[in-house]
Amino acid sequence: MPVFNFVRASFYRDSVTLMRLARDMEAVAGVTAAAAMMGTPHNRALLDQAGLLAAEGAGAQPADLIIAVAADSAAAADAARAAAERALLAPRATAAVGSSGAAPRTLAAATKILPDANLALISVPGAYAGAEALKALRAGLHVMLFSDNVPVETEIECKRVALERGLLMLGPDCGTAILDGVPLGFANAVPRGPIGLAAASGTGLQEVTCTIAREGDGISQAIGVGGRDLADDVGGLMMLRALELLAADVDTRVVCVIGKPPGAGVARRLADALAKLAKPCVACFPWFAVGAPSQGPRRPTVGPLSSAVARRSGRMSSAVVACMSRRPWRTRVAQRSRWRAARRRSRPSSRCRPPTSRAWSPTPPGAWRRISATCAASTRAARSRTRRWVCSRRVSATSHRR
């Protein structure tokens, strides 16, 4: 089927607008597929994989907008392009306007209209996003940076400035968050509840919050920190800050941590931070490989973190790490059933100990649902305070009774 690309030079729109644009184009008769993306190398590769990249789009620059259409004819493609043009050029409604009726065009003008605002959501081309984020942070505003293609050096600078001022710097490429019940970006409608999440994966954050809602529980906070935050270059700066905030939040009784594989240094710092949490915690880092222990004193890593935190805090529920080992999924489910049976029998057993996997493989189907169910289970345990599955204490108590 013929593929048509139309390029608008130096015309930026965020991904929310572009997804709506693609939906409008696909509604045109004769159009089988459509996409609207900025011309970054990554986006061009995605269009190529989808079979929607033509010669015109291949030569686009990162600041250019590519409109890609697969249609039965050139006339259908032109009709889709016209629909996209109408949507792009239509005037947008603005909630906040000044006394003159004009929408603010700068951060300073916006803060004059909304002097009580405490957060700025920024969505501009990545080359300019860092400068706008720094302006907002220096004005005392928390920042949710929706923009991608932000240099990592700029991200580090912004997050350090935020930490110095006691502010949150969510992102870059942060697409979803729920702060004090207020949804930001691609946030889903979920009930309020006692589970607080910190995530370096927007998709994982959305999936887990929705599954928790389906399990009958709710969300206190959902803090997205940006996909690169757990890299050693960035150092987990905002993830560690998010854990501090969740630990101090009175509405949060269970903490859930989700992310892409952390760097080795970040994994150690994250393990220490989770070990100090006084609240039950569930963590998942798919694809994360735990290397062999090095010489000298063994430090807890994110893989066998549950046993490390249980030894430190005396509570197994303080950390339940839902990572995926290389063992077959059904085998591990059967193994968990044996652990639960051993706990119920209250007998000393090596099966009571959490697994110490050597490496993690990609998340199997339904894993996010199991993680969310574990969050809900941890919440119920924290509420009732009647079932604390602590192997060491259980063994000690059993030995004492005998």
Tell me the per-residue pLDDT of 92-107, one tens digit each, with 9 for 90 and over: 665 555 555 677 888 9
Structure tokens at 248: 């101090």
- CA-CA-CA-CA torsion sign (176, 47, 128, 108): negative
Structure tokens at 61: 């620059």
Amino acid 381: pLDDT: 60
Amino acid 344: pLDDT: 53
Tell me the per-residue pLDDT of 128-142, one tens digit each, with 9 for 90 and over: 999 999 999 999 999
**Tens-binned pLDDT, residue by residue, of the chain (402 aa):** 799 999 999 998 888 889 889 999 999 999 999 999 999 898 999 999 999 999 999 999 988 999 999 999 999 999 999 999 998 887 766 555 555 567 788 898 999 999 999 999 999 888 899 999 999 999 999 999 999 889 999 999 999 999 999 999 999 999 999 999 999 988 889 999 999 999 999 988 998 899 888 888 899 999 999 999 999 999 999 999 999 999 999 999 999 999 988 998 999 999 899 888 889 888 888 766 444 333 333 333 333 332 332 333 333 333 333 332 333 333 344 445 555 555 555 444 433 343 333 333 344 555 555 556 666 666 666 555 434 433 434 444 444 444
The mean predicted confidence, pLDDT, of the chain is 77
Question: Which residues share a beta bridge with 143?
Answer: 120, 169
Domain 174-291+298-396 adopts which CATH fold?
Rossmann fold (3.40.50)
Distance CA 346, CA 378 (A): 20
CATH number for the domain formed by residue range(s) 106-170: 3.40.50.720
Amino acid 16: pLDDT: 80
Q: Where in the sequence of the chain do the CATH 3.40.50.261 domains occur? A: 174-291+298-396
Give DSSP secondary structure letters for 305-319.
HHHHHHHHHS-GGG-
- Three-state DSSP class for 218? coil
- Residue 81 φ then ψ, to 5°: -65, -40
Q: Where in the sequence of the chain do the CATH 3.40.50.720 domains occur? A: 106-170
Residue at token pair 């159009």? 31
Distance CA 334, CA 95 (A): 54
Amino acid 282: pLDDT: 85
* Of 14, 50, 16, residue with least CA distance to 32: 50
* C-beta of residue 148 within 8 angstroms of C-beta of residue 173: yes
